[in-house]
Chains A and B, each alone.
Chain A
Amino acid sequence: MSEDATEMQDLYRELILDHARQPRNFKRLADATHSAEGINPLCGDKLHLYLVVDQDKITEISFQGSGCAISMASASLLTETVAERSVADAVACVTTVTRRLTTGKEEASATFDLGKLRALDGVTQYPSRVKCATLAWHALRAALNQAGAPATTE
């Protein structure tokens, strides 16, 4: 395989392509207690997160939307990552993940293992695509803050 194809596959890893093709928890939650929209005006990526928060715990989470493979896979992975976590835990995840995606660094004090989310590491090499990967995480923060206004990457 040529070198550039290998590098390209560092961004589009099998796990990413799998989540982009078959996003997990891709539905609307009619009984959501929290929700937020994420918009990336540059790309036109648009997604909606739905959460059921019960006694400070995320008992259900889902999303719907359309966008590039990176944004869809990141949102899909997000739903798997934060389900069943406490709100405080989920907020800590947002901080760890967005820092990882924007700087490539990992906080020593991180309270959770990035695990599968390391599959998104490739985007740190593509400045114009980092926002695609962080979009769902910004939306999660907005949903938990119930800020009201859509989260954007700008």
Chain B
Amino acid sequence: MNTANAWRADFPALSQEINGQPLTYLDSAASAQQPQAVIDAVARYQREDHANVHRGVHTLSHRATDLYEGARDKLAKFINAGSRSELVLTSGTTESINLVAQSYCRPLLQLGDQVLITWLEHHSNIVPWQLVCEQTGAELIVAPINDDGDVLLDELFDLMGERVRMLAIGHVSNALGTVNPLDKIIQQAREKGIPVLVDGAQGVPHMPVDVAALDCDFYAFSGHKMFGPTGTGVLWGREALLEQMPPYKGGGDMILEVSFDNTVFNELPYKFEAGTPNISGTIGLGAAVDYLQNIGMQRIHEHESALHSYMVEKLSAVDGIRRVGQATSQASVQSFMLDDIHPHDLGTILDHQGVAIRTGHHCAMPVMQSFGLPGTARASLGLYNQPEDVDRLVAALEKAKQIFA
């Protein structure tokens, strides 16, 4: 396979050595590195344009507002949102999902209603629903997966009963890399009148996402998984649904008029954005969108798909490897066990050779339980990875085997 990766040089963090070895970063599913363009955009804003947004009449406030709102426009276009007012800026996927649970579901849920998720979900697509179910007397129901890490579609469809008020499902599993067949799932939910929230944290960085084509109702994602700063994220929602939802947090910027008797809330999307937002981070996220758009998400998807296949092939050839998660369609991620070496021992030994992977439960304890494992080792790819990274991973695994032989 073609070993050149011209994009890699755009990411300054990747040119360093760790423990005397070139950094091999295979932990983008936890957090992706940032290109120079993002770092520069944040620094330029901090240096020259910083002021609060939506408030002042002075020049810096105008500039900050233009940059911040410009990022919103870029993000809206990036996922093909119907309008910018459907694009709520949040601190990340976690806040986006909590917003929907508390603002959309909580007023709606009655005793005996159900919220449907799957066994694949990240804790941030489990716990917010548990909380709202406790608050309302609704029930959280969970669609099973098979040993490959695919959601059992028949079971999922059977669970879509009359009392289900929300289906919340990941686009791509962070623990197993499973790409869910969202088209089929959302179509089925639509036919049954069930709103769908997609946790897109692991989808957006790796493939083109078009919320209009997906036909979901909410799509949540994080900035730092898509090469932007931490503490940034998006909730996209259908305008008609967002309109009917009450504010989630109270404070400045989400109001039109406040008196002690009554407050008139601001229009969408500002109704959900109380307080001074993460201005610099969001501007950085806007730069990340520009960076990704310049390359093209389809190209990134093709590069990563080929690299993922190469990783699967190379890992499978290592004696003693057990691939955890072999779903029909996978993106970015491969979880695995090596002999009976505990994932944390593996993580330390690999780090020693400059190879950064994630080890543990990946904030998806139920997935690990379904495989009877306390955790796994997980290698995950970003656009900047190349076959050499996979080769270094495999060499480091061989060394771990020697130590534990």
Q: Interface of A with B (CB < 8 Å)?
A: 3-5, 7-9, 11-12, 17, 42-46, 66-70, 126, 128-129, 132
A45–B343 CA distance with the chains assembled, in angstroms: 11
Residues of B within 8 A of A (CB): 19-21, 341-345, 348-349, 352-353, 359-361, 368, 374-375, 399, 402-404
Q: How far is the CA of A4 from the CA of B352 in the complex (A)?
A: 7
Asked if A17 contacts B360 (CB within 8 A), the reply is: no
| A12 & B404 in contact (Cβ 8 Å cutoff) | yes
Q: State whether A42 and B360 are in contact (beta carbons under 8 Å apart), knowing that A4-B19, A8-B403, A67-B342 are contacts in the complex.
A: yes
Q: How far is the CB of B337 from chain A (nearest CB, A)?
A: 13
Contact A68 B342 (CB under 8 A): yes
A9–B404 Cα distance when bound, in Å, is 10
Q: How far apart are the CA atoms of A110 and B372 in the complex, in Å?
A: 42
User: What residues of B have a CB within 8 angstroms of the CB of A5 in the complex?
Assistant: 399, 402-403
Q: Are A43 and B344 in contact (CB under 8 A)?
A: yes
| A70 nearest in chain B by CB position | B345
A–B Cβ pairs within 8 angstroms, 13 of them: A4-B19, A4-B21, A4-B353, A5-B399, A8-B349, A8-B399, A17-B404, A44-B360, A46-B374, A68-B343, A69-B345, A70-B344, A129-B344
- Cβ contacts under 8 Å, A9 to chain B: 403
CA of A44 to CA of B21, assembled, Å: 29
Which 8 A-B pairs rank lowest in CB-CB distance, beginning with the nearest? A44-B374, A68-B342, A68-B344, A44-B375, A69-B345, A68-B345, A43-B344, A8-B352
Q: What separation, in Å, do the CA atoms of A70 and B344 have in the docked complex?
A: 9
Q: Measured between alpha carbons, how far is A17 from B402 in the docked complex, in Å? A: 12
What is the chain B residue whose CB lies nearest that of A129?
B348
Extra contacts besides A8-B403, A44-B360, A69-B342 (20): CB < 8 Å = A3-B20, A4-B20, A4-B21, A7-B352, A8-B352, A11-B348, A12-B345, A12-B403, A17-B404, A43-B344, A43-B374, A44-B361, A44-B368, A45-B344, A45-B374, A46-B374, A67-B342, A69-B404, A70-B345, A129-B344
Q: How far is the CB of A120 from chain B (nearest CB, A)?
A: 14
Cα distance A143–B360 when bound, in Å? 27
A66 and B374 form a contact (CB under 8 A): yes
Once bound together, how far apart are the Cα atoms of A68 and B399, in whole Å?
17
Nearest-neighbor residue (CB-CB) of B344 within chain A: A68
What residues of B have a CB within 8 angstroms of the CB of A17 in the complex?
403-404
What is the CA–CA distance of A99 and B141 in the complex, to the nearest angstrom? 46
- Alpha-carbon distance A47/B368, docked complex (angstroms): 18
B356 to chain A, nearest CB (A): 12
A5–B396 CA distance with the chains assembled, in angstroms: 11
The residue of chain B having its C-beta at the shortest distance from the C-beta of A12 within the complex is B403
Contact between B403 and A43 (Cβ–Cβ < 8 Å)? no
Which residues of B have CB within 8 Å of A45?
Answer: 344, 374
Distance from B189 Cβ to chain A, minimum over Cβ atoms (Å): 34
Determine the residue in chain A with the shortest Cβ distance to B404: A17
- Nearest residue in B to A42 (C-beta to C-beta)? B360
Query: Judging by beta carbons under 8 Å apart, are B348 and A126 in contact?
Result: yes
List the B residue with the shortest CB-CB distance to A67.
B342
Closest residue on chain A to residue B400 by CB atoms: A8
Q: Please give, as numbers and ranges, the residues of chain A lying within 8 Å of B343 by CB-CB distance.
A: 68
**Chain B residues near A67 (CB, 8 Å)?**
342, 344, 374
- B361 surroundings in chain A (CB, below 8 A): 44
> Could you say which residues of chain B place their CB within 8 Å of the CB of A126?
348
Chain A residues near B402 (CB-CB < 8 A): 5
**CB-based contact A132/B344 at 8 Å:** yes
User: A150 CB to closest chain B CB, in angstroms?
Assistant: 15
Q: Which residue of A lies closest to B405 (CB)?
A: A17
Chain B residues whose C-beta falls within 8 Å of the C-beta of A43 in the assembled complex: 344, 359-360, 374-375
A68 to B343, CA, bound (A): 7
Residue of A nearest to B374 (CB): A44
Residues in A with CB closer than 8 Å to B353 are: 4
| Residues of A contacting B342 in the complex (Cβ-Cβ under 8 angstroms) | 67-69
